C-alpha cells in the first residue's frame, strides 16, 4: 500500500492523516431494471457531472465512488459492454482523473443481476467474473481507478460471496490489471457486524493473485446501522462500531476503506461523524479513507446529501472540513 500513500501525498503536497477522503457521486444506479427494460438515460437515471467533480475536488476531496447498474453496462451476461453506457462511465472517470483524484467503480447491485443472486442457478459466478474481466481491460491503464467489486452483498451464503469475489480477483489479474480492488463482505458489508457474523471467517480467505486489495465496509450511525433514520445513537457510536473490525484488519495486516458513511445535519450528527472520522485517522495504518454517502444531481432534500443547494454548501460539508485538504 506504500504506493497509495505516496500517490495521495503527491496529490496534496504532503501526506494527510487520511490518504483518501471523498464522496459517492450517485445517479447511475437510480431506477428499476428488468430484462428488456433498463430505463432511459436522463429520465430514469443519470450520471454525475463534470462540475460536481470539480466542486468536490475544490473542497478537498480526492476519491469519488461512482455507483452504476451492472445490467445497464452489460445487458446480457458474458456479452460485450453496452457502448453508450460504457461511454458515459468512461466520461465520468476521465473527469475524476483529470482532477487528480481516484475514481472507484461501484456496480451497485447488492450481488444481484436482474434481481437474481450471484452464485445461484440463474447467475453463475463466471458471469460476475466476466464483468470484471471486461472492466479490468477497460480501466487497467490508470492506477487511480479502483475496482469496487460490488455494493453491499446480502442474504446469500458468505462462502458463495467469497468464491465470487475470488473469481473476480482472478479475472482482474488475468486481464493484466494491477489496480487496487475493494472487496466487500456479505451482510451489507457492515463494519459493525463483521466480527460477529461469518464475514470474519470467510472473508479472511480472500485470495488476490496481485496482492493489492483492501476490504470495503460501510457504517452508519443510526439505531440499526442502516442509514435510514435521521438520528444517531450517541456521539461515540462511530468509533464503537468500527473498533472490532479495525482490530480484525490490523491482526491480518489488511487495509480497509469506508465506502459509505453519513450523518444528519444536527449537532449530534456532527459530533458522531467527527468521532468516526477521528477513529479512521487514529488508525490510518488500517484505514485508507472514506467516501460520504452521497452526492449527485437528483438527491433533492435527501437528509445526507452533500450536493450544493441553491449555490450553497450543505451543512455537512462543514462537518468534514477538518478532514479535507482543499487544493
Write out pLDDT tens, residues 98-132: 999 999 999 999 999 999 999 999 999 999 999 99
In 3D space, the residue among 64, 73, 121 whose CA is nearest the CA of residue 97 turns out to be: 64
Q: Write the class of the CATH domain 2-323.
A: alpha beta
| CA separation for the pair 84, 91 (Å, rounded) | 11
- Would you say how long the chain is, in residues? 327
DSSP string, 284-323: TTTEEEEEEEEE-TT-TT-TT--S-BTTB--HHHHHHGGG
CA dihedral 55, 177, 149, 14 (to 10 degrees): -40
| CA separation for the pair 128, 58 (Å, rounded) | 36
Which pLDDT tens digit goes with each residue over 27-78?
A: 999 999 999 999 999 999 999 999 999 999 999 999 999 999 999 999 999 9
Please say if the pLDDT value at position 10 is more than 60: no
Say what the pLDDT of residue 245 is: 99
Counting residues of the chain whose pLDDT is more than 90, the rounded percentage is 94
Which residue would you say has higher pLDDT here, 300 or 4? 300
What does the pLDDT average to over 82-97? 98
> Please, which residues have CB within 8 angstroms of residue 297's CB and are 6 or more apart in sequence?
27, 46, 48, 49, 52, 307
In 3D space, the residue among 279, 323, 257 whose CA is nearest the CA of residue 106 turns out to be: 257
Integer CA distances (angstroms), 146 to 92, 180, 231, in order: 14, 5, 32
Say what the pLDDT of residue 6 is: 44
Please say if the pLDDT value at position 226 is more than 60: yes
Please say if the pLDDT value at position 11 is more than 90: no
Say what the pLDDT of residue 327 is: 66
Which pLDDT tens digit goes with each residue over 237-283?
A: 999 999 999 999 999 999 999 999 999 999 999 999 999 999 999 99
| Residue 325 pLDDT level (bands cut at 50, 70, 90) | confident
Please say if the pLDDT value at position 14 is more than 90: no
Note whether 179 and 133 are within 8 A (CB): no
pTM: 0.95
Q: Which residue in the block uniquely carries the three cell numbers 465496509? A: 217
Integer CA distances (angstroms), 275 to 225, 266, 303, in order: 16, 14, 20
> Please, which residues have CB within 8 angstroms of residue 311's CB and are 6 or more apart in sequence?
none
| CA separation for the pair 23, 314 (Å, rounded) | 13
Cell numbers representing residue 49 in the block: 457531472
Cα 258 from chain centre: 7
How many Cβ atoms are within 10 Å of 76's Cβ, its own excluded?
10
- Least confident among 8-17, 73-82, 230-239: 8-17
Which pLDDT tens digit goes with each residue over 23-41?
A: 999 999 999 999 999 999 9
Say what the pLDDT of residue 74 is: 98
CB neighbour burial string for 237-266, b if at least 16 within 10 angstroms, e if fewer: bbbebbebbbebbeeeebbbbbbbbbbbbe
Active-site annotation holds for 138:
no
| Residue 5 pLDDT level (bands cut at 50, 70, 90) | very low
Spot the catalytic one: 71, 152, 216, 307. Answer: 152
Active-site annotation holds for 152:
yes
> Please, which residues have CB within 8 angstroms of residue 204's CB and are 6 or more apart in sequence?
252
Which residue would you say has higher pLDDT here, 12 or 108? 108
What does the pLDDT average to over 143-163? 98
Note whether 319 and 274 are within 8 A (CB): yes
Spot the catalytic one: 260, 268, 307, 322. Answer: 260
Amino acid at each position: 500500500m506504500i504506493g497509495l500513500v505516496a500517490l495521495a501525498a503527491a496529490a496534496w503536497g504532503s501526506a494527510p492523516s487520511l490518504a483518501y477522503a471523498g464522496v459517492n457521486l450517485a445517479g447511475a444506479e437510480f431506477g428499476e431494471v428488468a430484462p428488456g427494460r433498463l430505463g432511459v438515460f436522463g429520465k430514469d437515471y443519470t450520471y454525475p457531472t463534470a462540475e460536481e467533480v470539480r466542486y468536490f475536488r475544490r473542497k478537498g476531496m480526492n476519491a469519488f465512488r461512482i455507483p452504476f447498474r451492472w445490467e445497464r453496462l452489460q445487458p446480457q451476461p458474458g456479452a460485450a459492454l453496452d457502448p453508450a453506457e460504457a461511454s458515459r462511465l468512461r466520461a465520468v472517470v476521465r473527469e475524476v482523473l483529470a482532477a487528480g483524484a481516484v475514481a472507484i467503480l461501484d456496480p451497485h447491485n447488492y450481488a444481484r443481476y436482474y434481481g437474481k443472486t450471484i452464485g445461484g442457478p440463474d447467475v453463475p459466478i463466471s458471469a460476475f467474473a466476466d464483468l470484471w474481466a471486461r472492466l479490468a481491460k477497460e480501466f487497467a491503464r490508470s492506477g487511480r481507478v479502483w475496482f469496487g467489486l460490488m455494493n453491499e452483498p446480502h442474504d446469500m451464503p458468505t462462502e458463495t460471496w467469497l468464491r465470487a469475489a475470488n473469481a473476480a480477483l482472478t479475472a482482474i489479474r488475468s486481464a493484466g490489471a494491477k489496480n487496487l480492488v475493494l472487496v466487500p463482505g456479505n451482510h451489507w458489508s457492515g463494519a459493525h457486524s463483521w466480527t460477529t457474523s461469518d464475514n470474519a471467517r470467510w472473508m479472511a480467505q480472500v485470495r488476490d493473485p496481485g496482492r493489492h486489495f483492501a476490504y470495503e465496509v460501510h457504517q452508519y450511525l443510526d439505531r440499526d446501522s442502516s442509514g435510514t433514520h435521521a438520528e444517531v445513537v450517541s456521539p461515540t457510536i462511530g468509533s464503537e462500531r468500527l473498533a472490532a473490525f479495525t482490530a480484525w484488519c490490523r491482526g491480518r495486516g489488511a487495509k480497509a476503506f469506508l465506502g459509505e458513511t453519513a450523518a444528519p445535519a444536527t449537532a449530534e450528527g456532527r459530533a458522531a461523524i467527527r468521532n468516526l472520522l477521528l477513529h479512521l485517522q487514529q488508525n490510518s495504518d488500517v484505514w485508507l479513507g472514506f467516501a460520504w454517502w452521497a452526492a449527485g444531481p437528483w438527491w433533492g432534500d435527501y437528509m445526507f446529501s452533500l450536493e450544493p443547494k441553491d449555490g450553497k454548501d450543505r451543512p455537512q460539508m462543514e462537518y468534514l472540513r477538518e478532514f479535507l485538504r482543499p487544493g
